Chains A and B, each alone.
Chain A
Amino acid sequence: MLKDLLTPQNANVFIGKLGDVLEKAIDKPLGYAINWGRIWSLWPVHIETACCSVEFGAASSPRYDVERFGIIEAFGSLRQCDLIVVQGTITRKMAPRLRLVYDQMPEPKYVIAMGACAITGGLYFDSYNVLPGIDGILPVDVYVPGCPPRPETLIQGCMLLQEKIKRMKARKFV
């Protein structure tokens, strides 16, 4: 029966179909495993853009210790990073650099907008040199409000991002 179906003309198609079936079967557990790995090793880029970096620094201090949630302190090259925490005001001089940094990061990458300035411009809504929020240049995953947000708020934002990653598609080409 199977032999009749498998002719040299349609062998490629058949194996392709078989692969699809197999992939559908293991896709869910595989995606879960991949996402699980991503959740617990988020590497933020070391880019400070304004004063919220003080509270970002405090979040990795011994009292708040964001590392226990899998957010590793910001060191190293941006080519191994997958999270960019935009720490406050983005000025017109910084905006092209921020986009340049984002473009150099490998996929998958996530963006947290930290502080009122990164969300809407905040206190500097009418300044001549400040962007009204970063949504115009980066796709934001989680907004963390506050001026500046307390470290607890930042930690909560990171946990929301982890929840979001859990429900994301692990691979794009399925």
Chain B
Amino acid sequence: MSLDSDNELVETISDEQSSITTNPTPVKEIELPKFEKGLADKIVEKFGSRTKVAFVKSNRVRINVSRDDVKEVAEFLRDVLNFDHAESVSGVDYPQDKEIEVVYHLGSYTDSSLSSQILVLATRAQREENPIPGNDSTKLPSLREIFYSVEFHEREVFEMFGVYFQGHPDNRRLLLPEDWADLPPLRKDFAIKGR
């Protein structure tokens, strides 16, 4: 590439500034992808109104369930829909709802039709203003017996959000220092210095 084309590049960028700007919401009706719609329908068929399908995008299906049903739904996902491992478990803190959301991203290695799919299973735990991790009402059933791979992820969520997983064999601290005595750091009311 010669030096001239560098100038060309600068011009194209400035041209595009006027034409292509970020359009936050493209206003068009996207028809739902078929395979993912089928997955979501199977779950709704089985559990009815106990699950809520939050979105169906290409390769991603998200369902919200209550904390009482999460184990049952997870068992169904593993046994019937062939999801066999959890990619990540992340907590999201919603202080305005007084809830902490725990999101499981499930994938499948064995079923080749599911290899590009991620099923997002979200559930919510009650949130306390003054948390005592492990000894307050912020509890969820652990999915470790169903998906063995969540073991370390759930330990991380426990220390970062204070969500105690009932039935987890090893609810110890993982990443934080042993003498950490503050709020769980990823909660929204834990402010970092200078901010």
Contact = CB atoms under 8 A, between A and B. Distances in A.
A93 B195 contact: no
Contacts of B185: 128-129
A92 B193 contact: no
Interface string B175-192: 011100010010000101
A126 interface: yes
A127 B192 contact: yes
Contacts of A162: none
Interface residues of A, number: 8
Contacts of A127: 192
B177 A128 contact: no
B194 interface: yes
A129 B194 CA distance: 14
A106 to B, nearest CB: 28
Contacts of B195: 126
Contact of B177 (A91, A125, A126): A91
B193 A126 contact: yes
Nearest to B190: A128
A91 B195 CA distance: 19
Contacts of A128: 182, 185, 190, 192-193
B102 to A, nearest CB: 21
Nearest to A132: B193
A126 B195 CA distance: 8
B162 to A, nearest CB: 15
A93 B194 CA distance: 21
Interface in A122-138: 125-129
Contact of B178 (A93, A125, A126): A93
9 contacts: A91-B177, A93-B178, A125-B194, A126-B192, A126-B193, A126-B194, A128-B185, A129-B176, A129-B177
Lowest 5 A-B CB distances belong to which pairs?
A93-B177, A92-B177, A126-B194, A126-B192, A128-B192
Given A93-B177, A126-B193, A126-B194, 7 more contacts: A93-B176, A93-B178, A127-B192, A128-B182, A128-B190, A128-B193, A129-B176
